[in-house]
Structure 1
Amino acid sequence: MKNVTTLILALFSVLTFGQSEERNEILIDKVQPDDIYLAGEKIEVNAAVKGDLVIAGGNLIIKDSIHGDLTGAGGEVSIEGHIVDDVRIAGGKITIDSEIGDDLVVFGGEVVITENARINGKLVCFAGDVTVNGEVIEKLDVRAGDVTINGTIRGPSKVVGEDITLGSNAKFYKEVEYWHSDGEISFNDALVNTQAQFNENLKEDATQLSLTTFGTKSISSWVKYILSAFLAILVFHALFKHAFSKAVEGIEHNWLKSFGFGLVYLIGIPLLIIVALLMIIGIPLGLFATAIFIFSLFFGHFIAAILLAYYFKYKKDNNWGFWSITLLALGFALLMRLLTTIPYVGIVVSVVILSITYGALTLKVIQSKKQLVYN
C-alpha cells in the first residue's frame, strides 16, 4: 500500500509539470462574488468565494471560506477555510483542517482529517493511508490500506483496511462494520452504547471496487485509471484542441439542440449498425461503425471533460494555456466518474453528458461543412 501512496503522490506531482508560466501561481486575495474555475501549479485562496470553487493544480491551499461546493484535483491539497457545502477532492496528499458543511468525498495517496476538522455530512474516503482525528456527524465510509481513527464518529461506520489502528480518543456512537486483514480487532472503550461487527464479505472491497463504483478492480487500478485518464485527455487535447475550442462557441445557446443531436447519435448509430450487420454487403461497414461507436463511448467522458474545460475558458474569457486546460479537464473527468457511480442517476448523467458532447461536436462539423459549401 505504501507503493500505491507513492504512485499517487508522484502522479499528481507530474501532472503539474510544464504549465504556462503566467498561470504557475495564482493568489486569490479579494472576495469573489461568483463561481470561479482555476488551474495552475500553485493556487492559494486567501479570500472568500461566494459561489462554487473548481480548481486543479500542483499545490492547492484554501485558507478562506467557500460558500458553495469545492471540487479539486492536485498534488498536495490543504483545506483550512470553512466550506459551506460539499467537497470532492482527489490528490496525492490531502489535509482537511476545517469545517465542511455537508459531505466530503476524497481520493488520495495520504489523507489526514485533523482534530480541528468537522464533517457535518458523510465522509467517503478511498486512499492509501487515511487518518481521521476530527468529527464526522453522519456516515463514515473508509476504504484504504492503513486506517487510523482517533476522532469522533456520530453516525454508522464502514471501515475497510489492511491495517486499522484506533487511538485513545476514538469514539463510535453508531454501529460499526469493518474488515481487517488480520481478522477481528478490539475496539476497547471506543464503542459508546453500540457494537462493532467484523464482516468477511467486506474483504472484496479491499481488493475489488465494483463497476457500480469506479469501474476499476483495486486501489492500485484506481491509480492506473487516473493515469490513463490523464494520458487520454492529453492525447485528445493535443490532437483536437482547435476543434474543442471552436465547438464551445455559442454552445450555451444550443444546449437542447446539442443534446438532441447527441441523442440521435447514441440511439441512431446502434440502429444503423444493426441494419448494416443484417445485410451481407453492409457487414464490413457495420463492424467498422461498431468499433468507432464503442471507442466513442469508452472515451466519451474524457472528451466531454476537455469540452467542459474549454467551455469554462470561453465563458470566463481566461487566457489559459494547454496544460491548464488539460489539468482542469482531468479534474472534470474525475468528477464525472464520481457522478456516474450513483446507481441509476449515473446512467442518466452519462447519457446527458455524452449527448451534449457529441451533439456539440456534430453541430460544429455541420456548420463547418456549410461554410465550405457557401464559400
Structure 2
Amino acid sequence: MKTIPLLFMGLFSIVAFGQFESGEDLLISDQQKDDIYLAGETIEINAVVRGDVVAAGGNISVNDSIYGDLTAAGGELFINQYIADDVRVSGGSITINSEIGDDLVVFGGEVILTKNAKVSGNLLCYAGDVKMNGEVVGMMKTTGADVTVNGTIQGTSKIIGEDIEIGDNARFLSDVEYWSSDGEIDFKESLVNANAQFNEDLREDRPEFSWVSFGIASLALWGFYMLSAFLVILVLHALFRKAFSKSVQTLQQHTIKSFGYGLIYLIGVPLLIAIAFMMIVGIPLGLFITTIFIFSLLFGHLIAALLLAYYVTQKNKKNWGFWSITFLALLLAIVLRVLTIIPFLGIILSVVILSFTYGALTLRALKNRNIPEPIE
C-alpha cells in the first residue's frame, strides 16, 4: 500500500471532484447538480448550483443562480444572482443585489440591499449599518445602529435603530412599529394605507451592535469550520483508516526519524518543485507536485489530528470505534487550529506537527514497499 500517494490523491479527489471544496481561492465555474460545501479565503460561484450551498471564507461572491438554500459566513459577501430558497448569512460587509426566493436572515457589520434586491419572503436583519433600498414582500424586522429605508416593504415592519432615516423612495404598505433614540420620526409620504407607531418597549430589543455582529460572525465562522473539518476528517478516516493506525506504530518506534523525514518533506518538496520549474520538460510535473503539496499543507492539521487521535487511543489502550475516533480527531483538529493561529509560535507548531505527521506516513509507506526502515 502506497500510503502517501494514495492519501494525496484522496485529498485531490475530494477537492477536485467531491461536493466539499477547500482552498485559498475557490472558483466554481461548472454547474453543480447537488449540494456543495465550500471553505476558502476567496470564493466565487460563477455557475448554477442546483442544490444548497454552505460556504465560509474571507470574501464570498455569488454570481450565478442557486436553486436551494444559501448559508454563508465571511468577511465580505456579495449576492449578485437569484437564490431560489432561504438565505442565512453573516459577515462584516454583506451586499444583496438580486432576488431571494424565500426568507433572508442576515447578521453583519454593514448590510446593504440595493434597489435590485427583492426578498420574496421575510427579512430578519441584525447589523451595525443597514441600508434597505430594495423590496420585501413579507414582513421585515431590522435592528441596527444606523438604519436607512429607501425601498418597499409590503408586510408589517418592526424597525429598531439608534438612528432611523426614511428615504424619499420608501414605501410601507402595512403598519410599522419602530424605536429610535431620537424619538418619533417623520415617515414623509412613505405610508400607503398604513400607520407608523413609536414603541418605547422596543428599546429593550436593542443589542450592543458591534459586539453582537462580531460575536455572531465569529461563531458562524467557527461553525462552518467545524462542519468543513468534520467532512474532510470523515472522508480521510473512511479511506485511510488502516494507514493511520499503522503509521502510529511507526511514529512510536521511530519518533526522531519521523520528524526528520517530515522535515525533509517540508523543505525538500519545494526545492524539487523549483528544480522542476527550471526545466521546461519538468513544468507539468512541477505543477502537479505543487498542487499536491499545497493540498497537503491545507489539510495538514486535519491529517495530524487523525494521526494524533489514533496515537491517543493506542497509547491509552482504548478500543474505540470508527465514530469515536472521528469525533476525537475533530476535537483535536480544533485544538490544533487554535494553537497554530498564535503569532510566530503557531508557525513553529505547524512545522513540528506536519513534520511528525508526514514523516510517520512516509516511513510507513517505505516499509510497505519493503524498503528497510532506518536504524535508530
Query: What TM-score results when the alignment is normalised by the length of structure 1?
Result: 0.55
Q: Deviations over 1:112-170 (max 9, x none)?
A: 00000110000100001010000000010100000000000000000000000010000
* Equivalent residues of 2:90, 2:216 under 8 A apart: no
Which of these residues, 205, 211, 228, is aligned with residue 220 of structure 1? Answer: 211
Partner of 1:195: 195
Q: 1:227 to 1:80 in 2, by over 3 A?
A: closer
State the SS of the aligned residue for 1:49. coil
Distance in 2, Cα, partners of 1:88 & 1:247: 27
Residue in 2 aligned with 1:361? 324
Q: Which of 280, 295, 298 matches 1:321?
A: 298
Quote the residue 2:204 is aligned against: 204
Using the TM superposition, give the Cα deviation of residue 24 of structure 1 relative to its aligned residue in structure 2, in angstroms: 1.2
Letter in 2 for 1:118: K
The change in CA–CA distance for 1:224 and 1:322 in structure 2 (over 3 A counts) is farther
Give 1:226 deviation, angstroms. 4.5
Is contact 1:32-1:49 (8 Å) kept? yes
Q: Is the 8 A contact 2:127 2:144 kept in 1?
A: yes
Indicate whether 1:137 and 2:125 are aligned.
no
* Counterpart contact for 2:56–2:224, Cα < 8 Å: no
Q: In the alignment, is the contact (CA less than 8 A) between 1:151 and 1:169 conserved in 2?
A: yes
Measured after TM superposition, the shift of residue 245 of structure 1 is: 3.2
Unpaired segments ≥5 residues, structure 1: 1-21, 208-216, 251-317, 326-358, 366-375
Show the counterpart of 2:158.
158
Counterparts of 2:197 and 2:188 in 1: how far apart (Å)? 13
Post-superposition Cα deviations, 1:151-201, rounded to whole Å, max 9, x if no partner, equal 000000000000000100000000100000011111111100010000000
Q: What SS class does the counterpart of residue 131 from structure 1 fall into?
A: strand
Q: Relative to structure 1, is the Cα distance of residues 229 and 192 closer, same or farther in structure 2, using a 3 angstrom cutoff? A: closer
CA drift at 1:79: 0.4
| d(CA) in 2 for partners of 1:65, 1:112 | 19
User: Measured at CA, do residues 30 and 222 of structure 1 come closer, stay the same or move farther in structure 2, by a change above 3 Å?
Assistant: closer
Task: Note closer, same or farther for the CA distance 1:233–1:42 as it changes in structure 2 (3 Å cut).
Answer: closer
Change (3 A) 1:123 1:248: farther
Structure 1 residue runs of 4+, over 6 Å off? 228-234, 362-365
Find out whether 1:170 has 2:170 as its counterpart: yes
Q: Corresponding residue for 1:116?
A: 116
Alignment check: 8 A CA contact 1:61 1:79 kept? yes
Report the TM-score when normalising by structure 2. 0.55
**Alignment length (residue pairs):** 232
Change (3 A) 1:226 1:75: closer
Partner residue of 1:3?
A: none
Please name the residue that 2:82 is paired with. 82
* Matched residue SS, 1:24: strand
Which digits, 9 at most, give the CA deviation of each residue in 1:232-260, with x for residues without a partner?
Answer: 999x99xxx89x9369956xxxxxxxxxx
Measured in 2, the distance between the counterparts of 1:52 and 1:204 equals 36
Contact 1:248 1:360 in 2 (8 A): no
Q: Which residue of 2 aligns with 1:58?
A: 58
AA aligned to 1:71 is T
Instruction: List runs of 5+ in structure 2 lacking aligned partners.
Output: 1-21, 239-294, 303-321, 329-376
Given that 1:23 and 1:39 are in contact with CA atoms closer than 8 Å, whether structure 2 keeps it comes out as: yes
Cα deviation, residue 224, structure 1: 3.6
Q: Where do residues 93-112 of structure 1 align in structure 2 (5 Å cutoff)?
A: 93-112=93-112
2:46 is equivalent to residue 46 of structure 1: yes
Asked if structure 1 preserves the Cα contact closer than 8 Å seen for 2:44 and 2:61, the reply is yes
Distance 2:52 2:224 in 1: 24
User: Which residue identity lines up with residue 84 of structure 1 in the other structure?
Assistant: A
2:233: which partner in 1? 245
* Residue number in structure 2 paired with 1:32: 32
**CA 1:102 to 1:224, structure 2 compared with 1: closer, same or farther past 3 Å?**
closer
Equivalent position amino acid for 1:127 in 2: A
Q: Supply the distance in 2 between the matched residues of 1:39 and 1:90 (Cα, whole angstroms).
A: 15
Whole-angstrom CA distance in 1 between matches of 2:60 and 2:32: 17
Alignment correspondent of 2:347: none
CA distance, structure 1, for counterparts of residue 41 and residue 113 of structure 2: 24
8 Å contact from structure 1 (residues 247, 361) kept in 2? no
CA distance in 2, matches of 1:128, 1:106: 12
Distance 1:226 1:322, change over 3 A: farther
- The 3 A distance-change label for structure 1 pair 323 and 141 is farther
Q: How has the CA–CA distance of structure 1 residues 148 and 138 changed in structure 2, closer, same or farther, with 3 Å as cutoff?
A: same
Partner of 1:356: none
1:264-343 equivalence runs, <5 A: 321=298
RMSD of Structure 2 on Structure 1 (CA): 3.4
- C-alpha deviation, 1:220, in angstroms: 1.6
Select the structure of larger CA radius of gyration. 2
Distance 1:38 1:54 in 2: 6
